[in-house]
């Protein structure tokens, strides 16, 4: 499992950092997503919620 983020698409809504704070944060300067853990070993339900909640399609999950 690997997560990637597209900072160009991110609109800084912050849902990812709110729902899965171990994996995502928001940049202090521009509010866009920062990926803290691209290969999380746990916290899957929070991760799914964050992926579903992102309004911009900036979060991607490769399950291979």
- Please answer whether residues 11 and 51 qualify as being in contact, where contact means their C-beta atoms are separated by less than 8 angstroms: no
Residue 55 or 63 having the CB closest to ligand SF4: 55
Length of the chain: 64
For the segment 7-46, give every residue that binds ligand SF4 (CB under 6 A).
10-16, 24, 26, 32-33
Is residue 51 involved in binding ligand SF4 (CB under 6 A)? no
Is residue 56 involved in binding ligand SF4 (CB under 6 A)? yes
Dihedral sign for Cα atoms in the order 33, 36, 43, 7:
positive
- Please answer whether residues 13 and 55 qualify as being in contact, where contact means their C-beta atoms are separated by less than 8 angstroms: yes
Q: Which residues bind ligand SF4 (CB under 6 A)?
A: 5, 10-16, 24, 26, 32-33, 54-56, 58-59
């Amino acid at each position: 499992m690997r997560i990637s983020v597209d900072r160009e698409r991110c609109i800084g809504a912050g849902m990812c950092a709110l729902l899965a704070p171990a994996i995502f944060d928001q940049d202090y300067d521009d509010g866009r997503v920062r990926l803290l853990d691209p290969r999380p070993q746990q916290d899957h339900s929070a991760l799914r919620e964050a992926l579903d909640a992102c309004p911009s399609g900036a979060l991607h999950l490769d399950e291979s």
